[in-house]
Amino acid sequence: MKTVLITKQIPQAGIDLLSEKGYQVIVGDEDFSLAETSSISGLKNIDALITLLSDPVDKKMIDSTPNLKIIANYAVGYNNIDIDYAASKGIFVTNTPDVLTNATADLTWALILAVSKRIVESDQFMRNRLFTGWQPMLMLGGDVTGKTLGIIGAGRIGQAVARRAKGFEMNILYSGRSRKEKFEKETGAKKVTLEELLKQSDFISLHCPLTPETRHLINRNNISLMKKSAYLINTSRGPVVEEEALTMALKEKNITGAGLDVYEFEPEVNEELYKLNNVVLLPHVGSGTHETRAEMSRIAARNVISVLETGQPLHQVNR
Ligand code: GLV
Ligand code: GLV
């Protein structure tokens, strides 16, 4: 019998697909940790592994699973996995692209609006019973309509964020490796250097994967190029931003605000950020809708089934 290990409970939809195939499905409980399990002989018989973005899959882990044929990451990002080492062992690594593009783009917009309109602060203000009536200077925020949005990494998610910006009549800039002509036609987006993007944008939104090149892409130096009135939004990966430098910039009001869904040392968050009211903090929920997470579960399962039945994955990320 084929055995599939899922490191934590994910929506049942995918688990059902695996069970219907007659596989043995093991689901890790709350305290399950892949790192601590890799020394245990139990991993020896596993044919397939469904991992979360919070599960580090390193050489040691891979070496302890001689039967493993696929690591299906329950995420679009896969920086948690040593994909080249997996490839060297003939193990496929897959992700869940496309399905979470809209959910993540929507959440990015929730952050853009929340931080510029001071939604969280205003809600706190109400709950603290501080509202005494309309005031000309109360909780003033920043405009969104007509402003410039800078997309760093115009992949699927970055492009989806930009399409939504058309409804707000925004000017769109993007930076990244390749020119996207169809995207430019569709949205009027203009490709610029990172430096120009940082200097000209009112809202800067990160949508690049985490790689050695993008780690600390937003550092002290680059933050100093941004407008004082700018907002930074990060729904990609925490380490793309040097959190300490961002925290300082927010504290000293060198930029106006930030909306963060991800953190450099997740789940740790720079203590100072908790004290600032010009930042909106979310617990890495970019893809977190019922519909999207169920579909991610199905896609991870379909990748497992495809590899175990045909030897070929559907969404391979390592060659
Ligand atoms: C979420 O962060 C993902 O990569 O799916
Ligand atoms: C991920 O889906 C991306 O291309 O942004």
Ligand 2 pocket test, candidate residues 74, 108, 156, 210, most atoms within 8 A of CB:
156
Q: 61-65, 230-234, 304-308: which has the minimum mean pLDDT?
A: 61-65
Domain for residue 259, yes or no? Answer: yes
Band the pLDDT of 31: cuts 50, 70, 90: confident
Residue 39 has pLDDT above 70, yes or no: no
**What are the pLDDT digits (tens) for 238-276?**
999 999 999 999 999 999 999 999 999 999 999 999 999
Residue 35 has pLDDT above 80, yes or no: no
Considering the domain architecture, whether residues 7 and 138 belong to the same structural domain is answered as no
Q: Are 229 and 217 in contact (CB under 8 A)?
A: no
Q: Does the N-terminal peptide bond of residue 209 adopt cis geometry, omega within 30 degrees of 0?
A: no
Q: Amino acid identity, residue 219?
A: N
Q: Are 168 and 116 in contact (CB under 8 A)?
A: no
Considering the domain architecture, whether residues 181 and 225 belong to the same structural domain is answered as yes
What is the whole-number distance in angstroms between the Cα of residue 128 and the centre of ligand 1? 35
Instruction: Name the residue with the closest Cα to ligand 1, atom 3.
Output: 75
The residues that bridge with 70 in the sheet, in sequence order, are 48, 92
User: Looking at residue 132, what is its pLDDT?
Assistant: 98
Q: Which domain holds residue 25?
A: 3-98+290-310
Considering the domain architecture, whether residues 58 and 127 belong to the same structural domain is answered as no
The residues that bridge with 125 in the sheet, in sequence order, are none
Between CA 318 and CA 179 the distance in angstroms is: 24
Dihedral angle sign, alpha carbons of residues 182, 187, 193, 194: negative
Enumerate long-range contacts of 173-180, CB under 8 Å, 24 or more apart.
Answer: 173/148, 173/149, 173/197, 173/200, 173/201, 174/150, 175/150, 175/151, 176/152, 176/208, 180/154
How much is the pTM? Answer: 0.95
What is the whole-number distance in angstroms between the Cα of residue 76 and the centre of ligand 1? 5
Dihedral angle sign, alpha carbons of residues 50, 313, 287, 149: positive
Across the chain, mean pLDDT equals 96
Atom of ligand 1 nearest to the CA of 262: 2
Q: Which residues have CB under 6 Å of ligand 1?
A: 53, 75-77, 100, 286-287
Considering the domain architecture, whether residues 137 and 260 belong to the same structural domain is answered as yes
* Phi and psi at residue 221, to the nearest 5°: -60, -50
Domain for residue 315, yes or no? Answer: no
Band the pLDDT of 32: cuts 50, 70, 90: confident
Closest ligand (CA of 79): 1
Considering the domain architecture, whether residues 222 and 115 belong to the same structural domain is answered as yes
DSSP run (H or E) holding 148: strand 148-152
**What are the pLDDT digits (tens) for 270-311?**
999 999 999 999 999 999 999 999 999 999 999 999 999 999
Considering the domain architecture, whether residues 186 and 77 belong to the same structural domain is answered as no
Considering the domain architecture, whether residues 188 and 305 belong to the same structural domain is answered as no
Enumerate long-range contacts of 295-299, CB under 8 Å, 24 or more apart.
Answer: 295/13, 295/96, 295/99, 296/10, 296/11, 296/14, 296/74, 296/75, 296/96, 296/99, 296/100, 297/10, 297/11, 297/12, 297/13, 297/14, 297/15, 297/74, 298/13, 298/14, 298/17, 299/14, 299/96, 299/99
User: Looking at residue 38, what is its pLDDT?
Assistant: 57
Residue 40 has pLDDT above 80, yes or no: no
Considering the domain architecture, whether residues 62 and 148 belong to the same structural domain is answered as no
Rounded to 5, what percent of the chain is helix, strand, coil? 40, 15, 45
Considering the domain architecture, whether residues 165 and 247 belong to the same structural domain is answered as yes
67-81 average pLDDT score: 97
The residues that bridge with 93 in the sheet, in sequence order, are 71
Considering the domain architecture, whether residues 270 and 296 belong to the same structural domain is answered as no
Considering the domain architecture, whether residues 31 and 132 belong to the same structural domain is answered as no
Number of folded domains that form the chain: 2
CATH of residue 65's domain is 3.40.50.720
Ligand 2 pocket test, candidate residues 95, 157, 177, 206, most atoms within 8 A of CB:
157
Q: Which residues have CB under 6 Å of ligand 2?
A: 76, 97, 101, 155-158, 207
